[in-house]
Amino acid sequence: MSKTSFPVNGLFFALGSAGLYGLNIVYARVAALAGINGPAIVVYRVLLMLVLTIGVAYLLRQRLTVAREEWRTLVVLGIATAFVGLCYISSVAFIPVTMATVIFYAYPTMIVLATPFVDKTPLTPSLIGVVLLSLFGVVLVVGPVFEGLDWRGLALAAGAGIATATQFFAAARCPKTEPVAKVFWVHLIVLPTALLVGAMTGQLEAPAILAIAPFAVFMTIGGYVIGFVFQMLALARISAAAAGIAYCIEPVVSALSSVLVLGERLSSLQIAGGVLVLIAVVTNVLLERKRSTPLVPTD
């Protein structure tokens, strides 16, 4: 399947994934307030993902095989996926969550800037304009706090952004490997990292802890599981640059969900930032549709 076969479908998968990830982080906050630590959720969601992929592969009679020429790329994808969570979660121990989020969500810009070197495709003025608009909107939505900055937190947040950009490029380069097999092997690589972090922080607890807030845990783990599958489906259909812009919707969904679930309030600037992100995402969808529509010759 070529990248241009279903570009609009790919964008919708990306938007669905970003929306689920946005919900996921809010309910992770609800679970944390109830006393369920992050490393425990990460470990058990990875284990659940592995069990589910094995079950789906059995029902669909699919083999969890990887195309021989894609093994190296898949290993890079797994390592990058592990570092996304590791760096992002660790960064907030040194800098405010808002600042870490702003730095992290610079990854769509990183993807666009790296595209000429990685994908060997030229940047267009329209693509540059869309990514800058979305980045500015994200900054307004999150509302950065410029206090208590620590270089370690800044470096970790930037590292998470770089790992995410790497993840997008790597996932887009495994088109021959079935999504089920891709998800399985990526999480098999992520699992040791998740276990190590849980052991080092002393927060690797028995599964019974998840019963403290079952709905929040269900939403957190379910949002991640389905979101990651949608992400793999999206990146099999569209470029990393196009998908990266779509994921700018994630902090907007998180902000709106925080209002509905956590009772937080949005300022007028945050609302304006959300509108800018939506405009950028819609523009990106229209541009992708225009690029994928073949010109019909006229007589």
pLDDT of 4: 46
For 184-218, the pLDDT digits (tens) are: 998 898 888 778 877 776 767 777 777 888 888 88
Residue 299 belongs to a domain = no
Residue 171 belongs to a domain = yes
Which of the four pLDDT bands, split at 50, 70 and 90, describes residue 163? Answer: very high
pLDDT of 138: 74
Residue 231 belongs to a domain = yes
Structural domain total, the chain: 1
Residue 221 burial by Cβ neighbours in a 10 Å radius (0-12, 13-18, 19+): buried
Residue 296 belongs to a domain = no
For 116-151, the pLDDT digits (tens) are: 888 777 777 777 787 788 778 777 876 665 555 677
Structure token digits, residue 146: 């410029």
Q: Is 3 helix (H, G, I), strand (E, B) or coil?
A: coil
Residue 48 belongs to a domain = yes
CA distance 5 to 220: 32
Q: Please state the pTM of the whole predicted model.
A: 0.72
Residue 260 burial by Cβ neighbours in a 10 Å radius (0-12, 13-18, 19+): exposed
More confident residue, 281 or 215: 215
Say if residues 228 and 49 touch (Cβ distance below 8 Å). Answer: yes
Domain that holds residue 18: 7-291
Q: Is 84 helix (H, G, I), strand (E, B) or coil?
A: helix
Residue 2 belongs to a domain = no
When the pLDDT of each residue in the chain is averaged and rounded to a whole number, the result is 78
For 67-114, the pLDDT digits (tens) are: 888 999 999 998 898 888 778 766 766 776 666 777 787 787 788 778
pLDDT of 299: 47
Left (φ > 0), alpha (ψ -120 to 50) or beta: where does 239 sit? beta
